[in-house]
Chain A
Amino acid sequence: MDRTIAIDVNRLCKTYDGHKAVDDLSFQVYAGEIFGLLGPNGAGKSTTLRTLITLLHPTSGTASVLGHDTVREADLVRTLFGYVPQERAIDRFLTGREHLELLGALYHLTKEEATKRIAELLKLVELEEHADRPAKTYSGGMKRKLDIACGLLPNPKILFLDEPTLGLDVQSRLRIWDYIRMLKARGMTVVMTTNYLDEADQLCDRLAIIDCGKVKTIGSPAELKVALGGDIVSLTIKETARLGSLAAAITGQPAIRTVNTTATGLDIRVESAEKALPAILEAANKLGCRLDFIDYHRPRLDDVFIAHTGRSLKDAAPAEETV
């Protein structure tokens, strides 16, 4: 895989009225990947994104896009990326085509270039039939498609998406995911913020979990889950009196990390279920414990989030979103 660095955020800090929205944040995005910034509202995702699109000046630290500083070379940086803001960044009185024409002029395309590009984009996002209706008649999914077409108009190397599927129905959501995967297949670098775990899990090559303005952890969804320490095996047995001796027999076996006794069984963190299960079953057999129920699951991104932030994303207090 290409390891060229497309985006470099280095020790970024942004303070509003004494409140640190972003606090010593560093990460890098490789060219051609889908990179996610995952975190609850107010975690600093938007602030980071707005710095990257040159609309915020960092209090300290730097951010660069394809090697160009977002403050010193802001004008140049603005020509390099496309931006898809959160939904509603649409002028309800303009038609879809007029949105694209406006942006065509702002990116200094000639009339011919713009006409050609707009036709391609409308086709890509399947809005050709609706292109000449005012955007106020669009559904949420259609607005989102128009948003994405607008982001793609400059034919950018990098696309920034802010909460691309916020508030969309399931179908539209899957459609948007398809587009994003297709863009990656075309070699585009995609950076997106999200507060949906499944979105980050399914879509992102790598992601940074952000909370309280800091990067808590960074890596591919698979890496992050593995790093958490393998799988969790839960079992319940009939002979609850023998739980103590069963726990003792299992503890210390290869591939077993920790053993927790519950009321009717055990919760065992294992390095890998494949290696640990035979040992567990053998021990149970030897002690004559009949298994009532056994289940194991791989750590989910939710477990990763909890491990690194100490809370579930669902519970994370929707702190005030700063600008």
Chain B
Amino acid sequence: MAHYWQEIGALTMRWVRRLSREKFSMLFTLVQPMLFWLIFFGNLFQRAADVQVTQAPNYISFLAAGVVVMTVLNNGLAGGVDLLFDKENGFLERLMSAPIHRSSVILSRFIFVMTITSLQVLVILGIAFLFGVHPATGLLGVAMILVIGMLFGVGLTAISMAMAFSVKSHGDFFSVLGFLSLPMIFLSSALVPLTAMPTWMSVLAQFNPMTWAIDAVRPLILTNWSDALPHVGMAVVVMLIFDALCLYGGAKAFRRAMG
């Protein structure tokens, strides 16, 4: 067990070091969702969005939940990229030929991605706070938001890693990533509530786990616990099923790739 922690600690440290040496890319990944979605998109649509439809005091406060979950989505889907590069340049082989637990590399990646995502979510909620979005359920609500984010993030990161282990080239990986990310956002309740969507889109959006996560985060920010709890309960159930499926697929892909 001590060995296990030693491995995971050292491998997680590696991800942290890499990030700290890619300051530019860190800045951009951190700033992009806040700047692009929350500040520009949120303010741009302030008057175009109908308060009757969004059921929120203003569009930014409606959008905050969406941006939080989008951040989880993007971080999660990109979570396997570094492993993909490790696979392509042989570093993964070097790691896996060492006498380590087979799961250490993957676990270190989960820990890292979840931590970074949580920090980013906190920053986004902080910026939203500056724009007057005060989470209605308080700090406990914020903690709940992080839990939902992580539950969603685990599954997404597993998908990303499964892809990293399965694709032939990183070109394929990024095409699939680009193809997945925007439709996932548009076919969810991130930007508009389902009630405002064309029927066919709202039907599709209901099969998107992202919708469930957002619908739980939104009342935590906008209304109160009694409104939020049923959504939170449903979200947790949906996320657990989603995670189980993704982890199963991920484990299969990993085993196929690593013998």
A contact set with B: CB distance below 8 Å: 50, 53-57, 75, 78-79, 81, 83, 85-86, 88-91, 93-94, 98, 101-108, 134, 150, 154
Contact = CB atoms under 8 A, between A and B. Distances in A.
Q: Is the interface of B mostly helix, strand, loop or mixed?
A: helix
Contacts of A102: 10-11, 13-14
A55 B96 contact: yes
A163 to B, nearest CB: 11
Interface in B1-51: 3, 6-7, 9-11, 13-14, 17-18, 21-22
Interface of B: 3, 6-7, 9-11, 13-14, 17-18, 21-22, 89-91, 93-100, 258-259
Contacts of B10: 101-102, 104-106
Contacts of A83: 93-94, 97
A114 to B, nearest CB: 10
B259 A85 contact: no
B7 A105 contact: yes
A69 to B, nearest CB: 14
B98 A88 contact: no
A106 B100 contact: yes
Contact of B93 (A79, A89, A93, A94): A89
B258 A98 contact: no
Contacts of A134: 21
Contact of A90 (B11, B17, B21, B89): B89
List 9 A-B pairs, minimum CB-CB distance, nearest first: A105-B10, A89-B90, A85-B90, A78-B99, A106-B98, A93-B21, A53-B97, A83-B97, A88-B89
B21 A106 contact: no
B94 A89 contact: yes
16 contacts: A53-B97, A54-B97, A78-B99, A81-B97, A85-B90, A85-B91, A85-B93, A89-B89, A89-B94, A90-B89, A91-B18, A93-B21, A105-B7, A106-B7, A106-B99, A108-B3
Nearest to A153: B98
Contacts of A81: 97
Contact of A89 (B17, B91, B258): B91
